[in-house]
Amino acid sequence: MADTPPKKAAQTRRRTGRHRGEGQWAAGHFTPLNANEQTKKDDDGLNVRTRIETIYAQRGFDSIDGADLRGRMRWWGLYTQRRPGIDGGRTAVLEPEELDDEYFMLRVRIDGGRLTTAQLRVIGEVSEEFGRGTADITDRQNVQYHWIRIEDMPEIWRRLEGVGLSTTEACGDTPRVILGSPVAGIAEDEIIDGTPAIDEIQRRVVGNPDFSNLPRKFKSAISGSPQLDVAHEINDVAFVGVDHPEHGPGFDLWVGGGLSTNPKIGVRLGAWVPLEEVADVYEGVIGIFRDHGYRRLRTRARLKFLVADWGAARFREVLEQEYLGRALLDGPAPDAPVERWRDHVGVHRQRDGRHYVGFAPRVGRVDGATLIRIADLAEAHGSERVRTTAEQKMVVLDIEEDRVPSLVEGLAALDLTTSPSPFRRGTMACTGIEFCKLAIVETKGRAASLIDELEKRLPEFTEPVTINVNGCPNSCARIQIADIGLKGQLVTDAEGRQVEGFQVHLGGSLGLEPGFGRKVRGLKVTSDELPDYVERVLRNFSDQRAEGERFAT
């Protein structure tokens, strides 16, 4: 039972000024101030695993306690999925139990996006046997199944854990998957390999009850790639590879990024962190979040709100003085990436002379059978390593040069191209109304057909462009940082009917000049109008762009 906040919170109890009333443990708010906090205090989410294995899997869906079903299941990567046939207009008006299907979405965490071919094969087999073939690559490098029955969970865990995979804290108010560069340890241009830090953080933090009751989710990213390939700007904490003029390769520390309905770009603390200290600093930052994070309102419970209120200087001071007990070194900011694409698609030389081959499923949608074939194909070409990317793509590592063409051909035969159109390469979509209980509109299928249409209509368009399709304002597929960000909502069509559509945001971007897209006032398109609208925007851009101008400018 998690009814005693960790010692650190009590030790660091201090005056918190005007934010005393936001439910921070460090301000003495140990009495839960809302239902979510009460659920977490009643019992640690991690404890639900035993009940799933010993009770719910035996007795079935109807035996599941309500607080476990809609709360603690997440600590093991499980959400109920949306009952089929409920349209987006009813999302906000129905009670949660009316939206619940008796099947689950299950998320497998893949820290750093690292998989062996043996693990990929098991992921595919579980999909085929227990998930009706579903297996989406998410923009957080996870794999997500649907149609999972509670009765099958013990066997699913047995299979996944048997090859070193885990669903622990894949969802919930927890340290979620740690994003990592898909080409960590192999890329020719790498500044530093963050893999040891990811492993150490996993060892210390994931499944540790000291960190299993956070105010809300905690998103992390570590990459030493100059391509800035983990969307570090929108994570709660991020470590970005930089070369310190005196101390050499290490990491620049960012905190407080996040999207959803109150988007914020993370802020630099101006601190340089050597590889061996990354886990300590991570523990300090997550400790601050646990102890000082706002718990009264779910809508203010992400780290970004605390960072916005404190500012970078105070956050660094608290981190150094109260959590690390020492000062951090000052350090430089990362350089802007040379390339706009961060997805590692295509064929690239590794520093050991072999090659990595990145390919693009449509909007991350694959299936179990395809994943098994990818594992077979990689092994047949001498590789045992595959990676997922934070752009819903995949990469096969360690291919000898003379075997590259055959692998590329084999992937293409699975409709997994290594040279996709800019539309396939740059379009992402969240889960949407097919399975998500919060969704208002359909996304995956809509985005896939948008790609097909744009490929037909604009065959000469070659500029990098990102199109992010989201089923609701929660921005799981990053509405605000796309060239064309689409937020699902009901809109009025020409006949005055309420139909599925999107609010349009234009000109968002990460990397060179991070910033949020402009919400174009009044600009809403119906889902049916979407291909015409996007075609028009892209044609106008092509016709009017100045030399060297990117879409986002």
Q: Smallest distance from the beta carbon of 321 to ligand SF4, in angstroms?
A: 37
Residue 345 or 439 having the CB closest to ligand SF4: 439
Joined tokens for residue 258 = 């996040």
Point out the residue whose Cβ comes nearest to ligand SF4.
Answer: 471
Residue 228 or 436 having the CB closest to ligand SF4: 436
Q: Smallest distance from the beta carbon of 530 to ligand SF4, in angstroms?
A: 16
Segments in 226-335 forming alpha helices (H): 278-292, 303-310, 312-318
What are the C-alpha distances in Å from 425 to residues 225, 333, 462, 539? Answer: 20, 28, 11, 18
Contact residues toward ligand SF4 (CB under 6 A) are 430-432, 436, 438-439, 470-472, 474-476
**How far is CA 130 from its chain centroid?**
24
Q: Smallest distance from the beta carbon of 430 to ligand SF4, in angstroms?
A: 3
Joined tokens for residue 79 = 């959400």
Report d(CA 236, CA 83) in Å as an integer: 32
Segments in 381-511 forming alpha helices (H): 404-413, 422-426, 444-457
Question: Which residues neighbour 114 within 8 Å (Cβ) at sequence distance 6 or greater?
Answer: 180, 184, 195, 385, 387
Report d(CA 397, CA 101) in Å as an integer: 39
Residue 91 or 383 having the CB closest to ligand SF4: 91
Joined tokens for residue 432 = 């949407």
User: Tell me, what DSSP letter sits at residue 208?
Assistant: -
Residue 242 or 510 having the CB closest to ligand SF4: 510
**Residue located via tokens 């998989």:** 115
Residue 471 or 507 having the CB closest to ligand SF4: 471
Per-residue DSSP letters for 441-473?
S--HHHHHHHHHHHHHH-TT--S---EEEESST
Q: Smallest distance from the beta carbon of 84 to ligand SF4, in angstroms?
A: 15
Q: Smallest distance from the beta carbon of 159 to ligand SF4, in angstroms?
A: 26
Q: Smallest distance from the beta carbon of 169 to ligand SF4, in angstroms?
A: 18
Segments in 327-392 forming alpha helices (H): 368-380
Half-sphere exposure of 165 (CA within 13 A, CB side): 28
Residue 464 or 473 having the CB closest to ligand SF4: 473
Residue 431 or 509 having the CB closest to ligand SF4: 431
Residue 206 or 438 having the CB closest to ligand SF4: 438
Q: Smallest distance from the beta carbon of 95 to ligand SF4, in angstroms?
A: 18
Q: Smallest distance from the beta carbon of 264 to ligand SF4, in angstroms?
A: 17
Q: Are 272 and 280 in contact (CB under 8 A)?
A: no
**363: exposed, middle or buried (C-beta count within 10 Å: 0-12, 13-18, 19+)?**
buried
